[in-house]
Amino acid sequence: MNRFVFLFLMIFMVFGYVSAQEATTQVEKKSNLTVTLKTGTGVENREIVGEAASFSATVGKVYCWGLVKGAQTETNVTIEWYYNGKKLREIPLSVKYSSTRTWCWKNISPGQVGNWTIKVLDAKGIEIGSAVFEIK
């Protein structure tokens, strides 16, 4: 009986430790920034135009527009562009205010048909948002 109680306590402690580790990891990876992303064919008056999730292979450029919120001091975000899972471009952008609209673009050649992903990372490298689109 004592072995059973001892074994039960050991299992309980191990699972409790693992759960505490997972909770600690989640807290460490939390960012104070949030981002709303949109993709389109341009930016006018600091707003996205031609918003879409699918573009023709002849689009020429795709814009990524983002509204970053939550900055308590001036910071940076990094925009990463992925084509069919491979990172093609990394763009650092400044965030100077608690609510900042920012954007960048990627030239798209007619041969770059496929799936694209844009990821936004905070200054610590934590992903705070993403968007996907397709070139047909």
77 and 45 co-located in one domain = yes
Enumerate the β-bridge partners of residue 69.
34, 99
Into how many domains does the chain fold? Answer: 2
Please give the Cα distance from 60 to 109 (Å, whole number).
6
Measured CA to CA, the distance from residue 12 to residue 120 in angstroms comes to 39
Q: Are residues 68 and 112 in the same domain?
A: yes
Q: Are residues 66 and 12 in the same domain?
A: no
pTM for the whole structure = 0.77
Extract the tokens encoding 116.
């694209």
Whether 70 and 12 map to the same domain: the answer is no
What is the full per-residue pLDDT of the chain (136 aa) written as tens digits? 555 444 444 444 444 544 444 443 444 569 999 999 999 999 999 999 999 999 999 999 999 999 999 999 999 999 999 999 999 999 999 999 999 999 999 999 999 999 999 999 999 999 999 999 999 9
71 with 43, same domain: the answer is: yes
Q: Do 61 and 10 fall within a single domain?
A: no
User: Could you tell me if 43 and 108 lie in one domain?
Assistant: yes
Domain with 16 in it: 1-30
Same domain for 48 and 66:
yes
